[in-house]
Amino acid sequence: MNNFDDSLQDKLQAIENGQPLPDVLHQARQEDEELAALIQFAGEVRAVPRPSISAARAARDRQMLLQTQAANSRSAQARRPYARLAFAAAAFALVALFAFLGISRLAAGSAARLAEVNGLVEVAASNSDDWRIVSAGDTLRAGQRLRTYDASSVALTFPEGSRTVLSENTEISLAALKSGLGGTITLELLQNSGNTSHRVVPFNGKNSAYVVNTPGGQARVHGTTFDVAVETGGLSRFSVTTGKVEVVNAGRQVFLNPGQASLAGAEIGVQDAAYTFSLRGTLQSIEGSVWTVDGVKITLTDLTQITGTPAVGSIVQVDGRVLADATWQADTVAVITDTDPQPQVLSFTGVLESMESSQWKIGGNSVLVNSATLLDPDIKIGDPVRVTFRVLPDGTWLALSIERLGEEQPQPTATPITPTSPAPASSLVFQPVSAEVQGCTGSEFSTQGMLVNTGSAAQDARLEALVIEGAGYLDSVSVSPERVDVPAGGSTGFTVNVGLNGNWASATGQKVTVRLLLSHASQGPVQENAQFDFTIRSDCEPTATPSGTPTATITTTPGATTTPSAPASVCTGANPQPTGMRLAAEFGVTYEEIMGWFCQGFGFGEISTAYELSRESGVPVADIFTMRRSGMGWGNIKKLVNSIDNPTQITGTPQPGLDKDNNNKDKDKPVKPTKKPKVEKTKKPNPSKKP
């Protein structure tokens, strides 16, 4: 905090509170002449005459406003008696039609539906700044942008049942939304600011993807519940409630498990996964960067985003992460100004480490558990949990509730789930239940084991990998096979491959643990306790070669991690743009070509449309962009290109000389997010699941 800035504000505030300017100036001169000069200058700016308002214009606008209100009221009243009936009839007709055709997923089309619109929410096309107000029931199509204002929010429901909620002051664009045969879906959002919550249902097929791009990184998921917050400067916080999220920035991947969060940004890359905390309470002390909220010490850093002016006694909301060294690092601190704030709420997440009598250890913290503590049934050591607690006068943390995280799988909000009939019980167990190897340098390690069924037949049991420890060293995790059918009394083998990154070479004394779990089997429940831990311990010496020390059926395979070289920088900045990369791959052209169009001002949605049209019609893509540039609508362009008899091949060559950086006429235009594309690894985790 800058003392000069504080003094300046204090003096300006004094004037705003009615203190005479000469008095304030006199005080300021005694402190600093420059301070007094700025206050004097601020006074001169305040004194500049304001333009008078045209009384006629103001009166006309006022009248129009009142008429609009009256019209809105009449319209609402007229709709009310019939709205439900009309909606029900339309819904019935649609359901009947889709049921008849049997193509409900495809027919849902490439649009998200807006629901629960609160306050002011607006939509615009990707290449337009004509924002219009939306209401519940409207749709958001690929290429469109959506923004919310203060005290506003909106929920998006996607064709396959996933749901995204935008909080206030949030802006996103729907970069891509495509449904394909076999129920595959590609959904890509670009979040420029604000907070979003995502409930992603498990997709069909490996080709399905749900991606959230932010200026700070990319989250890629496949059936999970998570939140994304984009702060000033693009710093992004990804946090996971259920399932698993892969966060990518500048080629580095971090996997977040339930209860974990990570920060990602251009300056910091993507930080290691860490468990989280959330405190809503009274700020009791401020000692440098260490603050105390209701008895809990937190540490602030340069990355901490502060809203308002917290002071001792303020009610604050703090969200942060519990770092490996047990520091509770605050990511955001906000002064709560609600007139009726929620009562004190303190919580954190972590792994349940021990359950000795009334003292439980969770994520390195001891909590007191008594008869009043609400506990999830069957909670066990090793579970990731969320603890809600309060601090007793003697400093003890009393657990109010402990809930297990990650059990719930998000379910579609739009598509009903067909109940499965009960089936005889299977009982799947891993043999062995753990394996451990030692190794060093950036390498790949693998281990094998058996999955044995001691009960009746199990079909479609899924093996999922969770990173328990050492996520910062991980490059990739894969399990093969991902799905198994195991006959009654039978068994099947599996292999786990773990790729470690370059940091592993200096990870002396560290370890990485990946846990295999069994998730839903479509026939036969799966034994809950079945799990398999694969641990890799570092034995790093300066020039050590990875070596395996099998405790089960284990093979270790040393190898180098592949790191693709980054494409050349384009007008969006030094980093490649992921959507540009995707489109280049999709249409078989160079990344530079795609970005050439982008740099000329075409949105990715338009570029995709142009290349698709070109591919369908054979008309050169440059000609299509020329038509678009002339002001033609896409409908007319499509009609025209389809009527051309002798098209030539696609020759998309961007027009030169229109670099956005050199053509930035508007200083207010937000900077396009620049990100590295997701790097394809030789081995990557694949949490794909069928619903």
- Find, among 227, 182, 185, 178, the residue nearest to 203 by Cα: 185
Beta carbon of residue 46, minimum distance to other proteins (angstroms, whole number):
5
- Judged by CB under 8 A, the residue of 162, 193, 236, 438 near other proteins is 193
Beta carbon of residue 191, minimum distance to other proteins (angstroms, whole number):
14
293 to 332: interface string for other proteins, x by CB under 8 A: ------------xxxxx-----------------------
41 touches other proteins (CB under 8 A)? yes
58 touches other proteins (CB under 8 A)? yes
Which segment (44-52, 198-206, 501-509, 645-653) binds other proteins by CB under 8 A?
A: 44-52
- Judged by CB under 8 A, the residue of 51, 102, 393, 631 near other proteins is 51
C-alpha–C-alpha distance, residues 366 and 62, integer Å = 62
Beta carbon of residue 53, minimum distance to other proteins (angstroms, whole number):
6
Binders in 143-172 for other proteins, by CB under 8 A: 147, 149-152, 168-169
- Judged by CB under 8 A, the residue of 19, 30, 54, 655 near other proteins is 54
Round to the nearest angstrom and report the end-to-end CA distance of the chain: 52
Beta carbon of residue 3, minimum distance to other proteins (angstroms, whole number):
10
Beta carbon of residue 493, minimum distance to other proteins (angstroms, whole number):
54
Which segment (71-79, 389-397, 428-436, 615-623) binds other proteins by CB under 8 A?
A: 71-79
- Find, among 164, 158, 155, 196, the residue nearest to 179 by Cα: 158
The Cβ-side half-sphere exposure at 262, using a 13 Å CA radius, reads: 27
Beta carbon of residue 476, minimum distance to other proteins (angstroms, whole number):
37
19 touches other proteins (CB under 8 A)? no
- Judged by CB under 8 A, the residue of 19, 285, 289, 337 near other proteins is 337
78 touches other proteins (CB under 8 A)? no
Number of CB atoms found within 10 A of residue 421's CB: 5
Evaluate whether 209 touches 220 at the Cβ level (below 8 Å).
yes
The H or E element that residue 57 is part of is helix 55-101
| For other proteins, the closer CB: 308 or 489 | 308
9 touches other proteins (CB under 8 A)? yes
Output the six-digit token pair for 283. Answer: 């700020």
Which segment (19-27, 89-97, 105-113, 665-673) binds other proteins by CB under 8 A?
A: 665-673
| For other proteins, the closer CB: 118 or 626 | 118
For residue 100, CA distances in Å to 95, 96, 107, 159, 174 come to 8, 6, 12, 18, 30
Give the burial class of 169: count Cβ atoms within 10 A of its Cβ; 0-12 exposed, 13-18 middle, 19 or more buried: middle
| Chain-centroid distance, C-alpha 21 | 49
79 touches other proteins (CB under 8 A)? no
3-state per-residue secondary structure call for 360-426: EEECCEEEECCCCCEECCCCCCCCEEEEEEEECCCCCEEEEEEEECCCCCCCCCCCCCCCCCCCCCC
Which segment (61-69, 81-89, 443-451, 583-591) binds other proteins by CB under 8 A?
A: 61-69
C-alpha–C-alpha distance, residues 501 and 511, integer Å = 13
C-alpha–C-alpha distance, residues 609 and 19, integer Å = 62
Query: Any bridge partners for residue 195, and if so which?
Result: 229
658 touches other proteins (CB under 8 A)? no
Evaluate whether 533 touches 433 at the Cβ level (below 8 Å).
yes
Output the six-digit token pair for 467. Answer: 């990173």
73 touches other proteins (CB under 8 A)? yes
How many residues bind other proteins (CB under 8 A)? The answer is: 66
- Judged by CB under 8 A, the residue of 288, 419, 667, 680 near other proteins is 667
Beta carbon of residue 336, minimum distance to other proteins (angstroms, whole number):
8
119 touches other proteins (CB under 8 A)? yes
Evaluate whether 228 touches 237 at the Cβ level (below 8 Å).
yes
- Judged by CB under 8 A, the residue of 26, 30, 31, 53 near other proteins is 53
Q: Which DSSP string corresponds to 83-128?
A: HHHHHHHHHHHHHHHHHHHT-HHHHT-SEEEEEEEES-EEEEETT-
- Judged by CB under 8 A, the residue of 69, 529, 648, 655 near other proteins is 69
| For other proteins, the closer CB: 211 or 318 | 318
> Which chain residues interact with other proteins by CB under 8 A?
1-2, 4-6, 8-9, 12-13, 16, 37-38, 41-42, 45-46, 48-54, 57-58, 61-62, 64-66, 68-70, 72-73, 76, 117-121, 129-131, 133, 147, 149-152, 168-169, 193, 232, 305-309, 337-338, 665-669
